[in-house]
Structure 1
Amino acid sequence: MALRLGDDDELSEINVTPFIDVILVLLIVFMVAAPLSTVDVPVNLPGSAATATDRPENPVWLTLTAERSLLLDQKPVAAGALGPMLDARTAGDRETPIFLRADRTIDYGALMALLDALRGAGYLKVALVGLDGAP
């Protein structure tokens, strides 16, 4: 009587089909979610050759549109109410960096007036936002 040891006909390969299914589902989720995370305010930003810096977890966006309207995190704000609105948004922390996006058609005087208003409100950490690439 002969006895065979270890000669089973079972396949001992890893099934990668469920892994590929999960990867494809994640890819679809990211493809759908990526366009939703972009900014909806139409601002024609100037280019910049500077290296990009790290973005904080919950950035404060201040936008100056081509029509010279101010938006704080995509909500309209009057120029006179900028200080109190920023205080409410940052919980009074004046060390919070403000990310300033201004349309490229805005003249220098309007941009300086906005920077002066930010300085008058006590916010000295202002980062200018531009597009990657040469100006």
Structure 2
Amino acid sequence: MAMNLPSSRGKGRRAPMADINVTPLVDVMLVLLIIFMVTAPLLTTGVPVNLPDSRAKALDQEQEPVQVALDAGGKIFVNDNEVSASILPDVLAEIAAAGNAENPRQVFLRADRALDYGEVMRVMGELNRAGLNRVALVTVGSEAR
């Protein structure tokens, strides 16, 4: 009498499937890529400034920084609002008073490369006098050009 027992040689057994279907993963990643490519240009707003090149790395930020920009004509903008040079110290003093002593406000200074160095230093001096000492100069990375 013969019995039909499963043999250890693997006859009649199916091998386990070890393939992963990556098509849905690729589809989702391509959709996300398209979404980011469409929305990224919409996130950059502000005053058009021709920034100088730099190889410095991006900064980590805890809170929304104050944006100070100087365009090619020498106009000063604080958070996309034009400010005259005469009231700039008052505006910066209000911003400095709104921050706390433990975590002072970060300031991003963007200046057009065609500006005179003295104009940029005048604004930096006003930032220093107001107590806003965490100033980062915004540049364009060298690989962006």
- TM-score, normalised on structure 1? 0.73
1:129 paired residue number: 138
Question: Structure 1 residues 39, 15: closer, same or farther in 2, change over 3 A?
Answer: same
From 56, 62, 65, the counterpart of 2:61: 56
Comparing 88-97 with 100-109, greater Cα deviation is found at 88-97
Does 2:91 correspond to 1:82? no
Larger Rg over CA atoms: 2
2:26 paired residue number: 20
- TM-score, normalised on structure 2? 0.69
* Structure 1 segments unaligned to the other structure (5+ residues): none
2:111 paired residue number: 102
Deviation of the 1:42 alpha carbon: 1.5
Aligned-partner Cα distance in 2 for 1:112–1:13: 62
Aligned-partner Cα distance in 2 for 1:132–1:81: 32
Contact 1:90/1:96 (<8 A) preserved: no
Does 2:44 correspond to 1:30? no
Deviation of the 1:76 alpha carbon: 1.6
Deviation of the 1:71 alpha carbon: 1.1
* Structure 2 segments unaligned to the other structure (5+ residues): 7-11
Comparing 107-116 with 17-26, greater Cα deviation is found at 17-26
Percent identity over paired residues? 44
